[in-house]
Structure 1
Amino acid sequence: MDAAPSSTATPATTGSLWSELREALRGSHRDLTEAPLGRALFVLAVPMVLEMVMESVFAVTDIFFVGRLGADAQATVGLTETMETMVYALSFGLSIGAMSLVARRMGEKDEEAAARTAVQAIFLGLLFGIPLSVAGAVFAPTLLRLMGGSPWVLEHGVHFTRVLLGANVSVCLLFLINAIFRGAGDAATAMRALWLANGINIVLGPCLVFGLGPFPKMGVAGAAIATSIGRSTGVVYQLYRLTRGDGRLTVRWRHVRLEARTMLSVLSLSGAGTLQTVVGMTSWIVLVWIISRFGSEAVAGYTIAIRLVLFAILPSFGLANAAATLVGQNLGAKKPDRAERAAWKAGGVSAVFLGAIGLVFVAFAPQIVGIFTTDPVVLAHGAHGLRIISAGFAFYAYGMTFTQSLNGAGATWAPTWLNLLCFWAFELPLAWVLSVHAGMGPTGAFIACFAAFSLLAVASGAVFRRGHWKTVAV
């Protein structure tokens, strides 16, 4: 597939790279539909990539510290995070709807409508997040049992699960409000919120896990407490910035009222967005269930491998989010061709970056996984899985960019059907056949994961090239 030609200049050729970097980190107020495309992508992508880098660090922080407590503790984190993927799916789906609508309204230069949309999205986050928090805390033991947790996990790991799932409302709001900032083009504030949340977790995590200084030694549960405190603090900062009045988007008291029509618009886009994420996330849950048939060491190895994969791909997801914002705002400004060029440009940069990381992972998988475990069986499973999955990183980069660009355009059902095809209809049957019937064990699940994400990249690229997303009204 060939990218659409672009004559836009990059920041390196049109001005000081350092001044552009400072603008990106400080928060740019320039019109993203009028600035040179390379510069607009740069000022959005830098904070979004840094935001995802911190999320990547978070993804490996807990497993690094908890890994010192043994394979069962690592399996507790893996099983709980797998259950929480459903919360991530809902939060991500709501975020897709909020980001797409806010970006479109900002592109139309209607900041009042963008603010009202933001408030309705936050109401939805509370509506779904609070019941999920209560249910997660109450049913934590049952959920771990259903996930096939070992006796140690059921006895000692339940405290980790109860605390982490009990803070689900903070997950919903953290995802959702950051998507609002990104849709408005205020990627720098979203970056700071996540850096604050994860920075607290990184500092507080080892203190509570190992009992450093005046802190109590809480073991695996301490990691969940640190994570929950960090996320909740991040949400408080987001609300402060959203109402402060000096950003791209400001919420005032006059905006804080229920608007059924706007809420339904958010839900209309979010429904498909949630479903597409549910499809992807549930496939991960089933993969963990398949792998759990082969013991805690296999689950622990898979958990380490997936955390490392997330560490690598989240910065590229930041680029995909930048593309989605540009697509949404440029469609609002009636510039569909510029929206298409933005997606191709972001995809190319992402593929180069992620492809290079994939080569490193393939070459040094045992050494990298060995940082997180000393158990030889866990290391073997993790290294093998990391090599297989990371071999297709360049494909994944384009797949993320295309699917997020479709979401940014409001064409959320296209990625939904693609996820149904690639994950439910293809990945899960293949994983079961290879792992169980062909006797390949966890390797079969790893191969199925690689194949499904590669298929998604090719299929989403074909859909994006057809261009129907340019005519979607939101």
Structure 2
Amino acid sequence: MSTPGRPYDHRLSHHVRRTVVLAGPVVLARLGFMAFTSVDVIVLGRAGAEPLAEYVLGAAVVDGLLATLAGLLMGVPVLAAQADGAGARGGVGRIWRQGVAYGLVVGALLGVLLALCAEPLFLLAGQDPDLAARAATVAAIMALGLPSLAVVLVGATFLEALSRPLPGMLAVLLANLSNLGLNIVLVFGWGPIPALGALGCALATAINALLLAVGISLYVRYGLRDRVHLGLAGDAAAGAPLWSPAPWRGAGRLRGIGYAAGVAQGLEAGSFTVLTLLVGLLGSLALAVHGVMFQFVGLTFMIAFGLATATQVRVGNAVGRRDPRGVALAGWVGLGLSTVVTGAAAVAYLLWPEALLRVFTTDEAVLAAAVPVMLWAALALVCDGGQSVMNHACRGCGDTWTPTGLHVLSYWVVMVPVAALLALPLGQGVSGVFQAIALASVVSMAVLMVRFAVLARRPLAAPPG
């Protein structure tokens, strides 16, 4: 590990290699998180457009709150990466404990909010009352898993910040196998278990979130060989056992970073929830198409998001060792890698749209409506991945509220109004929604690139202890 004042390897090849090595397991872990939804869509895509539509509508509000939750917990990887880069490894255990305690509380509160407000929100947005009731039940069941998912996010991002993403990746991949099995049983029924349709997918998600949270927490607490040096064997310095009220002490900075990130990611995810509600006004078929198309954008975005996470860690490490050149290289290398990966995926989506769509659904009506949308989805995903990398690079620098304001501009001032105009009055339907996503992603990436360029040129002070 480099320390302040010592030389560091600034060759481009070194930065590319380090980012790819760190991002590889992170990408697989992020794809694993996305695969929970993808498996649900694949299974329900064999059950018909109606159960798929109620799942897509119910999951839309869950995804919005989950993104908010992930943002609120962003202080965990940021502070852990900076502490690791500065050589202050003995304090990272306290960061994990603070994150777990905070995540459980916030996850429970968001879960209650979701269970109470989902159906009124759907009805207020003009959804069909019968569809709204069924989708709200899906959302309420998935809400049970939010506290567990908070603990999973804390554990996974904590390990990634310490450049140890492999355990989290393996845990998520195993959970997906369990999720697939439970989905098949609960959606279609087996023996005495009735066919539950979309409700079965929601229940499988909640069960697997709990199992995953327990597994990853036990690994962080007991599975790391250097857990004593990392402060994971209790807070001896504070004279407190592991789960005393001590995790709340000194957590203000962790929460402060998370407030801005939570608002930013909540605003971004909330804007996509609004898009789903707009599509719901077009009917169940449009919702099914929207849900299938989002798998393509979402799966590729998770690759970019994994690169973004690696970029944030590497930028945070460079900030910790007070290495401005390393900050700039880490950020721009991450953006370049994301552009290459998402660009290759976009080409594949344009060359083989129907063959790829059949992975998610066998419904001919859904397939026919989805193929024309693939062009716009391919264009959207390249810049969407790029804006995520730049956002994380800014946060690795400790930037908080500026990216939040940029999200408001890109997604609420640009994307939502343009999507509403194109999809409804101009008759573009689901294609109009993805045209608006592409435009907003271009705006977001451009302004975040400028912001990171400014941050990368600033002198770096020593991080707080």
* Inter-partner Cα distance in structure 2 for 1:359 and 1:302: 20
* Inter-partner Cα distance in structure 2 for 1:7 and 1:251: 33
Q: Which moved more, 1:367-376 or 1:334-343?
A: 367-376
Q: Which amino acid aligns with 2:11?
A: T
Q: Which amino acid aligns with 1:251?
A: L
Match status 1:434 vs 2:422: yes
Does the 8 Å contact 2:145/2:205 carry over to 1? no
Match status 1:189 vs 2:167: yes
In structure 2, the residue matched to 1:48 is 26
In structure 1, the residue matched to 2:197 is 219
Does the 8 Å contact 1:73/1:220 carry over to 2? yes
Q: Which moved more, 1:333-342 or 1:269-278?
A: 333-342
Match status 1:251 vs 2:232: yes
In structure 2, the residue matched to 1:27 is none
Match status 1:301 vs 2:289: yes
* Inter-partner Cα distance in structure 2 for 1:78 and 1:199: 21
Does the 8 Å contact 2:76/2:95 carry over to 1? yes
Please, which runs of 5 or more residues in structure 2 have no aligned partner? 1-8, 236-241
Pairwise CA distance, 1:154: 4.2
TM-score (ref. length: structure 2): 0.88
Could you say what secondary structure the match of 1:87 adopts? helix
Q: Which amino acid aligns with 2:218?
A: Y
In structure 2, the residue matched to 1:166 is 144
Choose which of 364, 374, 379 in structure 2 pairs with 1:391: 379
**Residue 141 and residue 57 in structure 1: after superposition, are their counterparts in 2 closer, same or farther (change >3 A)?**
same
Match status 1:237 vs 2:215: yes
Match status 1:136 vs 2:117: no
* Inter-partner Cα distance in structure 1 for 2:339 and 2:379: 12
In structure 2, the residue matched to 1:462 is 450
In structure 2, the residue matched to 1:79 is 57
In structure 2, the residue matched to 1:25 is none
Q: Which amino acid aligns with 2:277?
A: W
TM-score (ref. length: structure 1): 0.87
In structure 1, the residue matched to 2:238 is none
Deviations 1:38-96 (CA, angstroms, capped at 9, x unpaired): 44323311111211232343331101111222222111111112111232122221232
Match status 1:200 vs 2:200: no
* Inter-partner Cα distance in structure 2 for 1:39 and 1:367: 33
In structure 2, the residue matched to 1:348 is 336
Aligned pairs, number? 444
Please, which runs of 5 or more residues in structure 1 have no aligned partner? 1-5, 11-35
Choose which of 11, 27, 30 in structure 2 pairs with 1:8: 11
Could you say what secondary structure the match of 1:442 adopts? helix
Pairwise CA distance, 1:216: 4.3
Does the 8 Å contact 1:60/1:307 carry over to 2? yes
Q: Which amino acid aligns with 1:58?
A: F
**Residue 163 and residue 92 in structure 1: after superposition, are their counterparts in 2 closer, same or farther (change >3 A)?**
same
Deviations 1:363-395 (CA, angstroms, capped at 9, x unpaired): 222332233334444324433333202124333
Could you say what secondary structure the match of 2:73 adopts? helix
Q: Which moved more, 1:171-180 or 1:448-457?
A: 171-180
* Inter-partner Cα distance in structure 1 for 2:124 and 2:292: 22
**Residue 132 and residue 396 in structure 1: after superposition, are their counterparts in 2 closer, same or farther (change >3 A)?**
closer
* Inter-partner Cα distance in structure 2 for 1:410 and 1:9: 24
Q: Which moved more, 1:248-257 or 1:399-408?
A: 248-257
Pairwise CA distance, 1:281: 0.9
Choose which of 338, 349, 352 in structure 2 pairs with 1:361: 349
Q: Which amino acid aligns with 1:290?
A: L
Choose which of 158, 161, 176 in structure 2 pairs with 1:180: 158
Choose which of 258, 267, 281 in structure 1 pairs with 2:255: 267
* Inter-partner Cα distance in structure 1 for 2:207 and 2:457: 43
**Residue 439 and residue 157 in structure 1: after superposition, are their counterparts in 2 closer, same or farther (change >3 A)?**
closer
Choose which of 432, 440, 445 in structure 2 pairs with 1:452: 440
In structure 2, the residue matched to 1:317 is 305
Could you say what secondary structure the match of 1:253 adopts? coil
Higher RCO, 1 vs 2 (CA within 8 Å, ≥6 residues apart)? 2
* Inter-partner Cα distance in structure 2 for 1:340 and 1:259: 34
Q: Which amino acid aligns with 2:55?
A: V
- Residue identity (%): 25
Match status 1:413 vs 2:413: no
Pairwise CA distance, 1:158: 4.5
Choose which of 107, 111, 116 in structure 1 pairs with 2:89: 111
Q: Which moved more, 1:425-434 or 1:325-334?
A: 425-434
Pairwise CA distance, 1:143: 4.4
* Inter-partner Cα distance in structure 2 for 1:220 and 1:68: 12
